[in-house]
Amino acid sequence: MTQLAQTVDPAPLLPAQIGDYRAIPIAAIRIGPRLRYLRPDAVSNLANNIAEHGLHVAISVAEEAADDGTTKFLLIDGAHRLKACKQIGWEQVPARVYRLDEIERQILEIDVNLCREELTELERGEHLLKRKELYEQLHPETRQHLAGAMAANAVMGRGDASANLALASFTRDASEKTRRSLRAVQRSIARTQKIDPEIRDRIRDKPVMANNGAELDALASLNPDQQLRAVEMVETQGYKTIRAAKKKLHDAVSPAPEKPVKSATFSTTRRTPLPDIPNSQLDAATSDLGKQDSIRKLRQIVDRVEGTDRNNLIAFLGKLGSTHCDKLAAYLS
């Protein structure tokens, strides 16, 4: 087998009985469900590097007894490294062996991943959310404390306790283990809980959304149907951000209230509202969404002016001299 380079000992993130470093058979390693997805380009780069320089950081595994009496290992950390070693033909890999129960193993896997900078904001939130669920299983008293805090906040009119997760020991523990602030842990969990799992999967490979906190916050503020619509608008309708799509959805649901025109020159009356202006026509006038909204509001005002005064107003708008004023007048008529 290719000579293995000296491994680096990562600091343990969870109290556990830890065995020696060993070179273990790759065939004896089982890979369970993973929160972090493999990136083929990262595996390829690692394989080239390991082939040339060796493996400098051991993978981490949990030792488990198989039904046939042999020793098997469940992967904790190092899926990319393990895949790369397989790819270059290694039969053994250096590993640090932990003896943990299943919940402790999953928490350790999450904590190791959370210390990595290459996680997207979405992945980080999913890891923290899963860690919270596991921590509450390991420490049932935490859930009771959080439930009490939620009840107290409700009585005192403070609403949802998600912004007060610092009251639970989980948040302090996660902050210490992952070296992130209490506020960052709270916010990441709160937003991830509100984004539909199917939407998370849909945007996972789109860093412009998955690795942008403001975009994720915008998604989290919508209901599941609106989340899907907003993502579709970014993917297929030319909207550059979820925030822009959200504004469009909000305006469609809650249009600005009409205000009567106060003018000594024009008289107004109630008219049957004109059909909305097609987006294609608005795009021809301006690509700016705010200006498109202004055109719609102006059309509503014009529609409330009657008779000759209405025609005169449209004609006046057509003589303003702007590049698109002649088109604007046509859309208002």
Q: Is the dihedral of CA 49, 51, 52, 57 positive or negative?
A: positive
Q: What is the pLDDT of residues 304-315, one digit of tens each?
A: 666 666 666 666
Distance CA 125, CA 133 (A): 13
Record the pTM: 0.49
Q: Give the CA count within 13 Å in the CB-facing half-sphere of 36.
A: 27
Q: What's phi and psi for 19, nearest 5 deg?
A: -90, -170
Predicted confidence band of residue 227 (pLDDT cuts 50, 70, 90):
very high
Q: What's phi and psi for 218, nearest 5 deg?
A: -65, -45
Q: What is the pLDDT of residue 254?
A: 59
| Cβ pair 131, 198 in contact under 8 A | no
Pair of tokens at residue 48:
């080239």
Of 217, 215, 171, which is closest to residue 191 (Cα–Cα)? Answer: 217
Q: Compute the chain's Rg from CA coordinates.
A: 29
Q: What is the pLDDT of residues 179-206, one digit of tens each?
A: 778 888 888 888 999 999 999 999 998 9
Query: How many CB atoms are located within 10 Å of the residue 66 CB?
Result: 11
| Cβ pair 244, 289 in contact under 8 A | yes
Q: What is the pLDDT of residues 73-85, one digit of tens each?
A: 989 888 899 999 9
Q: What is the pLDDT of residue 134?
A: 84
Q: What is the pLDDT of residue 262?
A: 54
Q: What's phi and psi for 88, nearest 5 deg?
A: -95, 5
At CB < 8 A and 24+ separation, what contacts does 195-200 make?
195/122, 195/219, 195/220, 195/227, 196/224, 196/227, 196/228, 198/228, 199/224, 199/227, 199/228, 199/231, 200/122, 200/126
